[in-house]
Structure 1
Amino acid sequence: MGSVSSSVRLAATVHGRGDTRGFISALIATAREKGVSAFVGDGTNRWPAVHRLDAAVLYRLVVESAPAGAPLHTVAEEGVPFRDIADAIGRRLRLPVVSLTAAEASEHFVGFLAPLVSLGSPASSALTRERLGWAPAHPTLIADIEDGHYFEG
């Protein structure tokens, strides 16, 4: 039996219950530590997102039926404005939401977040949906943040 390879690109933000080490958990930890939920500039830079259960469905579809060599994007939301993410975190933590300059952001966000928070990387999964019939059905990133599981414990 031969093998078929495909390239699968995950969204920058993979979210869902059990996400304790991803971007959203790190943003929440930073907001708690600093006392504000922050974004850079006007916050219009966008991050693609996918719920982890929708990503799992896509991986199954890839194994079952992906065309050889197909580049596939695991993206449910093409780009969530970073300000919307900061606003949702601020609401849940009851913290002010503030805009930072790039210089302030490099001091505010530490570790792997610092160089990433001002980037935008919208991505489309239109071809993936067409090729595999993939239809994300789980909560959006903002709905998942507002659900509250990120703030338990």
Structure 2
Amino acid sequence: MTKSRPAIIDALRGTSKRFLYTSGCFLYGATGDTPATEDSPLHPLEMVRFRQALEEEIFGAAADGVHGIILRPAWVYGNHAWTTMMMYGSAQGDGAARYVGNGQNRWTCVHVDDLANLYLLALEMAPAASVFNDAHGAATPLIDIARAASEGAGTEGRVAAWPLEEARQALGGFADAIACDQLVSGEHAERVLGWRPSRHSILDELRSCAPPAA
């Protein structure tokens, strides 16, 4: 059976036009205490396994004049990003911010505005077949993120554990992503592209959060 190729890659062959693909840091799987870099081996979570093959297609197309660039965002927050607002919403609705698993796993994050700046830098400057992690700041335990969401929602830091097996019934494989322990380095983007993320942390974001406008 012939493997199908993304149509956009075929359309761009020989053009040298820039093509930016948004992948993600879940390709690294659980990292342990060693921050993942762009050279780290991939152990993708099941829900994003397909992205590994797409990245390989993009890398391979460089020889045919496709200027492909891959970005791997960490957890995105800011401007009411959905996953972080799940915890905020559960605090508002139930009186406690609910987190998946035991809460000890760590999230590496990136503010959506810093991420937007990196997209612009990548489109302007990134070499063909390059890949960049989009991550900034220290990795933060999920339970601390939930507490900050609870504080922002006015429920005084109260949190509640959501057992992983129960969360899987509602969220499928996304529950495993929320419970994944990851440290990710964004230093390559800072060094090569001059990226300078500057927005406040996810904890400060959630503590100062207000409900989205109706």
Q: TM-score, normalised to structure 2's length?
A: 0.60
1:14 to 54, 58, 76: 76
Task: Give per-residue Cα distances to partners, 1:20-53, cap 9 Å, x unaligned.
Answer: 5x21122222333333213332x22111211111
In the alignment of these two chains, the number of paired residues is 146
Superposition deviation, residue 106 in structure 1: 4.7
Superposition deviation, residue 86 in structure 1: 0.7
Measured in 1, the distance between the counterparts of 2:68 and 2:133 equals 14
Superposition deviation, residue 55 in structure 1: 0.6
2:28 corresponds to which residue? none
Bigger radius of gyration, 1 or 2? 2
- Counterparts of 1:3-152 in structure 2, within 5 Å, are 3=17, 4-11=67-74, 13-17=75-79, 19=80, 22-39=82-99, 40-41=101-102, 43-95=103-155, 96-103=158-165, 105-106=167-168, 110-111=170-171, 114-149=175-210, 151-152=211-212
**Which is bigger in relative contact order (C-alpha 8 A, separation at least 6)?**
1
Distance 1:114 1:30, change over 3 A: farther
Superposition deviation, residue 94 in structure 1: 3.5
Q: Is the deviation greater in 133-142 or in 93-102?
A: 93-102
Show structure 1 runs of 5+ residues with no match: none
Superposition deviation, residue 68 in structure 1: 1.6
CA contact under 8 A between 1:78 and 1:124: conserved in structure 2? no
CA-atom RMSD in angstroms: 2.3
Measured in 2, the distance between the counterparts of 1:73 and 1:14 equals 12
Measured in 2, the distance between the counterparts of 1:100 and 1:56 equals 32
Secondary structure in 2 aligned to 1:115?
helix
Superposition deviation, residue 78 in structure 1: 4.9
Secondary structure in 1 aligned to 2:110?
strand
Measured in 1, the distance between the counterparts of 2:153 and 2:208 equals 12
Distance 1:8 1:78, change over 3 A: farther
Superposition deviation, residue 152 in structure 1: 4.9
Measured in 1, the distance between the counterparts of 2:123 and 2:212 equals 34
